[in-house]
């Protein structure tokens, strides 16, 4: 179905031209504020390097059954063996299950903070310490998020971040090493500048469409067609971000200098505020038609998106796309190493969660339209299920 409405709600924040010219500000949250940090093209590269750096490649890592899949792929490629623990229907880590599954080959515990919602990091730290294990804190979906006063990614032995899901940067992942141990890590080489340029132009064009309505959309579409032709003709290697699979070919790629520049132009505190405001708005407008996964937003949490619970993902996604809302199917598949039948709550989550954007580019007026479109899409979903039943 083609997008026909006047709304344009991209899933990620867009790049405003002034961000290319702003004066750098000191980042007051990790990874920007961390004394020991290495930047990469992707978060997955940081996961791969963590396994190698900490010598986890001959052992087992206990990971959540609710995972993206690419983090598991990176870990497996680096030589570690994943084992999986239970996560409940509200993204809640089953700590008893984690403790039960620790065995003689376990080397590390892996905790993922889902979409900015803090996981039980203090409890996982305690378990790791009791058993002499490493704790990996995956904050790929939780940049700028804190649990009260504790920034995510500062409790684990390492914290892993993805920059381009939260900020309008062309690429970027980070590995933060906490504690006194120093590792001498090589500085990864910068990525091909044509690839950075291509991502940057597309984020600028998205911004144009966001601000320019129909005229912006037409211009973006014309430039995109031209751009695709040029990329093909010049045989340019565009290293795509947000992809589903790990590719060893890109494991050594670093972050572009432009990413750093754009990241330093951001007002991080106000991004957290805007995302929280948009999240609360959706919570208030949607709770009567779809029971919220969470009834509140913990202090300090910076939501990546609003997790909407639906019955028929494909139908709701298609309806939202027609309205111009780039909602995303959140984590449909288990990694093949994980036995889906052993984790029924996770299987149900995989069938039912849709990401509704709530990022910093979306004004209260746009959020009102988003909420209205979501209400209509969910009501039609209910109606068609009733008819089918």
Ligand X SMILES: Cc1ncc(COP(=O)(O)O)c(C=O)c1O
Q: Which residues are near ligand X by CB under 6 A? A: 42-44, 68, 70-71, 112, 138, 140-141, 162, 173, 242
What are the two backbone dihedrals, phi and then psi, of residue 135, each rounded to the nearest 5 degrees?
Answer: -115, 120
What are the two backbone dihedrals, phi and then psi, of residue 380, each rounded to the nearest 5 degrees?
Answer: -65, -35
304 vs 371, beta carbon nearer ligand X: 304
Q: Least separation, in Å, of the C-beta of 74 and ligand X? A: 7
Question: Token digits for 356?
Answer: 């509704």
Residue found under tokens 């972050």: 255
CA distance 316 to 191: 37
Q: Least separation, in Å, of the C-beta of 92 and ligand X? A: 16
CA dist list (Å): 257 to 15, 30, 197, 220, 254 = 16, 18, 11, 25, 9
Beta bridge partners of 356: 306
Query: What does the DSSP assignment read for 66-129?
Result: S--SHHHHHHHHTT-EEEEE-B-TTS-B-HHHHHHH--TTEEEEEEE-BTTB---HHHHHHHHH
141 vs 286, beta carbon nearer ligand X: 141
Rounded (10°) angle between helices 70-77 and 43-53? 30
Q: Least separation, in Å, of the C-beta of 137 and ligand X? A: 11
Q: Least separation, in Å, of the C-beta of 335 and ligand X? A: 11
CA dist list (Å): 103 to 60, 98, 133, 156, 338 = 9, 10, 11, 20, 17
Q: Least separation, in Å, of the C-beta of 109 and ligand X? A: 15
| Element at 329 (helix H, strand E) | strand 328-329
Distance of CA 56 to the CA centre of its chain: 24
**Do the beta carbons of residue 198 and residue 58 sit within 8 Å?**
no
42 vs 306, beta carbon nearer ligand X: 42
CA distance 274 to 271: 5
Which of helix, strand or coil describes residue 383? helix
112 vs 323, beta carbon nearer ligand X: 112
Q: Least separation, in Å, of the C-beta of 272 and ligand X? A: 20
198 vs 323, beta carbon nearer ligand X: 198
Q: Least separation, in Å, of the C-beta of 169 and ligand X? A: 11
172 vs 300, beta carbon nearer ligand X: 172
CA distance 377 to 160: 35
CA distance 159 to 137: 5
140 vs 205, beta carbon nearer ligand X: 140
Q: Least separation, in Å, of the C-beta of 304 and ligand X? A: 9
Beta bridge partners of 40: 173
Q: Least separation, in Å, of the C-beta of 64 and ligand X? A: 9
118 vs 324, beta carbon nearer ligand X: 118
12 vs 371, beta carbon nearer ligand X: 12
CA distance 87 to 7: 36
The 8-class DSSP code of residue 93 comes to B
């Amino acid at each position: 179905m083609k997008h026909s409405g006047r709304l344009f709600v991209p899933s990620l924040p867009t790049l405003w031209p002034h961000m290319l010219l702003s004066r750098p500000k000191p980042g007051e949250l990790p990874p920007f504020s961390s004394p020991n940090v290495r930047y990469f093209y992707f978060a997955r590269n940081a996961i791969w390097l963590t396994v190698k750096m900490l010598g986890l490649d001959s052992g087992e890592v206990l990971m959540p059954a609710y995972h993206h899949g690419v983090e598991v792929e990176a870990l497996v490629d680096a030589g570690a063996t994943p084992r999986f623990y239970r996560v409940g229907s509200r993204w809640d880590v089953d700590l008893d299950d984690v403790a039960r599954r620790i065995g003689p080959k376990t080397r590390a515990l892996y905790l993922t903070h889902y979409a900015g919602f803090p996981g039980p990091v203090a409890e996982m730290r305690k378990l790791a310490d009791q058993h002499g294990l490493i704790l990996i804190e995956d904050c790929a979906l939780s940049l700028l998020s804190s649990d009260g006063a504790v920034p995510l990614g500062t409790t684990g032995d390492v914290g892993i971040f993805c920059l381009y899901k939260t900020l309008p940067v062309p690429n970027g992942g980070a590995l933060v090493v906490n504690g006194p141990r120093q590792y001498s890590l090589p500085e990864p080489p910068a990525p091909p500048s044509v690839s950075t340029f291509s991502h940057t132009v597309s984020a600028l064009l998205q911004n144009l469409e966001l601000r320019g309505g129909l005229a912006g959309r037409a211009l973006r579409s014309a430039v995109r067609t031209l751009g695709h032709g040029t990329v093909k003709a010049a045989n340019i290697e565009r290293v795509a971000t947000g992809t589903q699979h790990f590719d060893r070919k890109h494991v050594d790629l670093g972050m572009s200098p432009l990413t750093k520049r754009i990241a330093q132009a951001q007002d991080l505190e106000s991004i957290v505020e805007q995302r929280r405001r948009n999240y609360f708005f959706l919570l208030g407008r949607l709770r009567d038609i779809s029971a919220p996964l969470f009834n509140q937003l913990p202090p300090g949490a910076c939501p990546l998106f609003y997790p909407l619970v639906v019955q028929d993902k494909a139908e709701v996604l298609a309806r939202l796309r027609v309205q111009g809302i780039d909602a995303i199917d959140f984590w449909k598949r288990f990694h093949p190493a994980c036995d889906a039948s052993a984790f029924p709550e996770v299987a149900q989550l995989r069938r039912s969660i849709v990401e509704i954007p709530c990022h910093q580019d979306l004004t209260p007026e746009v959020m009102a339209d988003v909420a209205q479109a979501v209400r209509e899409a969910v009501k039609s979903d209910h109606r068609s299920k009733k008819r089918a039943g």
